[in-house]
Structure 1
Amino acid sequence: MVFVFGSVNIDLVCRVAAIARPGETVLSTRYEQLFGGKGANQAVAAARASSVPVVFAGAVGKDELGRAAREQLMAEGIETDNLADGSERTGCAFISIDAHGENAITVASGANLEARAEAIDAALFRPAAVLVLQMEIPLAEIVAAAERMRAAGGRVVVNLAPVPEDLSQRDLARILAASDILVVNEGELAAAAKLAGIGAQTIPETAVALAQHYNVVVIATLGADGVLIAEGMGEPQRLSALPVEVVDTTGAGDTFVGVFASALAGGMATAQAARRGAAAASLACRKMGAQTAMPTAAEIDAALAGA
């Protein structure tokens, strides 16, 4: 089972020639309303990637957006019994995408801040589960869920995205003490290393040092440069990305995490699961949006067969 505890947002997406600088206004001809939130994105990616059951826990508002988000998750075959109705409005993300496919995102957390680990069904914390966490819900709840899963004998995958502004060295140490795998992009890797007191090094050296420092597997997603896996001993392993025409990178990182977790829960070894996740993340860059661009299991299988 993949068990995702995280955020649910509605994404308001517009295309612009260039992302606005401070004090600047840019125009777009139209916008789209899409389903998002890093937690929900990762759950959808996991559900599409395999037949492994996916369960989601978090909070949405008692509003039309919250009802639509819940229905969308259920339509993907995701169990939502642990998706609570909060008192705040459903979270929203405001996304600008430039002509090169790069994005700038502002998130209004809303009901996501009401997600509570103690409200989750205790039966979900079990040895056969892979818990997936991100950083768009309260830090204390992330830690509590990780510690509950560690105590139950399940595995914990933490995606340090986005890095909270107030994240401390103690906070990071507590999260990773209850985790098995840390997934970061290049910026998040640098932020984690700085908190750990690891000096400036190359990306591979930093990943290895971080893995050794916290006794976790560190997976660094590097966009077109693929994925780096550091397990604390020896040289890190590199996996290539698939060559694709990039339309929109929104959700590519979430696609990697969700597909990786589903492959891990399905019995694949870390490197094999990461290879599947990397292929899926590449495929997700071919279309606009996060969940709308996430590939199916058949698409991932075909891409890997032709790689």
Structure 2
Amino acid sequence: MILVFGSINMDLVARVRAIARPGETVLSRRADSFFGGKGANQAVAAARIGQGGPIPVAMAGALGDDPFGRACLDNLRANGVDVEAIRIVGEPTGCAFITVDDSGENAITVASGANMAVEAADVPDSLLARASVLVMQMEVPAAECLAMARRARRHGVRVIWNFAPAPAMSERAEMAELLAATDILVVNEHEAVAVGAIVEGMVRDDYLDVAATLARSHEVTCVVTAGARGATAISPDGARVHAAARPITPIDSTGAGDTFVGVLANGLAEGLGTGNAMRRACIAASLSCLTAGAQAGMPMRGALEEHLAQD
């Protein structure tokens, strides 16, 4: 089983000609609502690819007792995600405000709400004992993520940590603790540079060089995603594996990174090697950009297998 520990949001999305600069107001014809949150997105991506396969998906998180929360819970269930470890708390359901420009790029502001009430202690040992992979992000309290990762390690569960959004932590010791509890670190090129600056004091733009240093120094496999340039995994011994992205004309890139993480987790849980798991994840992430909304374009298993067969 894949256990996702993280955030659940409702996304409010407005399409604009250009994303507003500081102090600027831009107009959009309408706002649409979509299910989101990096944790929920990754859980849905893994569950959709898992349908027809052997690996179930469970989500641990928190929601408000409000219409958004009830809708988010129903959506996770509809996608086949086990929701027994989701708590209803006294804070409002998390909400993300997203603008998407004509090129498909996005800017996102998140009101965390109930996501800040997520606690590792609320995940029962019985659920963790069934997991083979734990997936986490940076939209719930870092201390709870660390506690969850340490519990997972004691149960022999592989930990995938997606350091997104880029952490604001400035203490090297705190970041080093997080990395010490991680088996696979997933970052984009900007996040890799940010983590390298905090942990190693590296001020450089070569994100693959930074990722190699992080992998070697902290004995993690560092997977760096780079949009249309695909993804590269670097192991502690310096070995590199690259997977290409599928050439597309994007409509909305929101959720592409989360699709990658969820499908990567599924591939690894099913026993695929890193290269093959990344190949599936890159193609799935590319396909997710063809539909508006973080989850709407996430492919089902059959659709992904059709595209894999074309290579």
Q: Give the corresponding residue for 2:258.
A: 254
Q: Give the corresponding residue for 1:290.
A: 294
State the Cα distance separating 1:165 from its structure 2 match. 1.7
Residues 94-136 of structure 1 deviation map (CA, whole Å, 9 limit, x = unaligned): 0000010000000000000000100111122237520000000
Q: Give the corresponding residue for 1:48.
A: 48
In the TM superposition, 1:264-275 aligns within 5 A as: 264-275=268-279
Q: Give the corresponding residue for 2:86.
A: 83
Q: Give the corresponding residue for 2:158.
A: 155
Q: Give the corresponding residue for 2:33.
A: 33
Q: Give the corresponding residue for 2:306.
A: 302
Q: Give the corresponding residue for 1:17.
A: 17
TM-score normalised according to structure 2 size: 0.96
Q: Give the corresponding residue for 1:66.
A: 69
Change in Cα spacing, 1:127 to 1:230, as seen in structure 2 (3 Å) is farther
For the Cα contact (< 8 Å) 2:94–2:115, is it kept in 1?
yes
State which drifts further: 123-132 or 234-243.
123-132
For the Cα contact (< 8 Å) 2:48–2:299, is it kept in 1?
yes
Q: What amino acid is aligned across from residue 77 of structure 1 in structure 2?
A: G
- In the aligned structure 1, how far is the partner of 2:170 from the partner of 2:154? 24
State which drifts further: 262-271 or 8-17.
262-271
For the Cα contact (< 8 Å) 1:127–1:154, is it kept in 2?
no
Instruction: Give 3-state SS (helix, strand or coil) of 2:165's partner.
Output: coil
State the Cα distance separating 1:166 from its structure 2 match. 2.9
Q: What amino acid is aligned across from residue 152 of structure 1 in structure 2?
A: H
Change in Cα spacing, 1:167 to 1:34, as seen in structure 2 (3 Å) is farther
Instruction: Give 3-state SS (helix, strand or coil) of 2:222's partner.
Output: strand
Q: What amino acid is aligned across from residue 281 of structure 1 in structure 2?
A: A
Q: Give the corresponding residue for 2:209.
A: 205
Unaligned runs of 5+ in 2: none
Q: Give the corresponding residue for 1:230.
A: 234
- In the aligned structure 1, how far is the partner of 2:132 from the partner of 2:83? 16
Residues 212-240 of structure 1 deviation map (CA, whole Å, 9 limit, x = unaligned): 01100000000000001100224422211
Aligned length: 307
Q: What amino acid is aligned across from residue 216 of structure 1 in structure 2?
A: V
Greater than 3 Å deviation, 4+ residue runs: none
Q: What amino acid is aligned across from residue 183 of structure 1 in structure 2?
A: V
State which drifts further: 57-66 or 229-238.
229-238
- In the aligned structure 2, how far is the partner of 1:26 from the partner of 1:96? 10
Q: What amino acid is aligned across from residue 305 of structure 2 in structure 1?
A: D
Q: Give the corresponding residue for 1:137.
A: 140
- In the aligned structure 2, how far is the partner of 1:219 from the partner of 1:70? 30
2:220 aligns with one of 200, 206, 216: 216
Residues 250-296 of structure 1 deviation map (CA, whole Å, 9 limit, x = unaligned): 00000000000011111111221111111100111111111111111
- In the aligned structure 2, how far is the partner of 1:167 from the partner of 1:260? 29
- In the aligned structure 2, how far is the partner of 1:226 from the partner of 1:270? 14
State which drifts further: 183-192 or 267-276.
267-276
Change in Cα spacing, 1:62 to 1:279, as seen in structure 2 (3 Å) is same
Instruction: Give 3-state SS (helix, strand or coil) of 2:233's partner.
Output: strand
For the Cα contact (< 8 Å) 1:127–1:152, is it kept in 2?
no
Change in Cα spacing, 1:82 to 1:18, as seen in structure 2 (3 Å) is same
- In the aligned structure 2, how far is the partner of 1:199 from the partner of 1:11? 34
**RMSD, aligned CA:** 1.2
In the TM superposition, 1:96-115 aligns within 5 A as: 96-115=99-118
State the Cα distance separating 1:167 from its structure 2 match. 4.8
Unaligned runs of 5+ in 1: none
State the Cα distance separating 1:201 from its structure 2 match. 5.7
Q: Give the corresponding residue for 1:181.
A: 184
For the Cα contact (< 8 Å) 1:47–1:77, is it kept in 2?
yes
Change in Cα spacing, 1:201 to 1:23, as seen in structure 2 (3 Å) is closer
For the Cα contact (< 8 Å) 2:116–2:141, is it kept in 1?
yes
State the Cα distance separating 1:31 from its structure 2 match. 1.1
Q: What amino acid is aligned across from residue 247 of structure 2 in structure 1?
A: P
Residues 8-45 of structure 1 deviation map (CA, whole Å, 9 limit, x = unaligned): 00000010000001111100001111100000000000
Identity score, percent = 48
Q: Give the corresponding residue for 1:192.
A: 195
1:280 aligns with 2:290: no
State which drifts further: 279-288 or 117-126.
117-126
For the Cα contact (< 8 Å) 2:216–2:238, is it kept in 1?
no
State the Cα distance separating 1:68 from its structure 2 match. 0.6
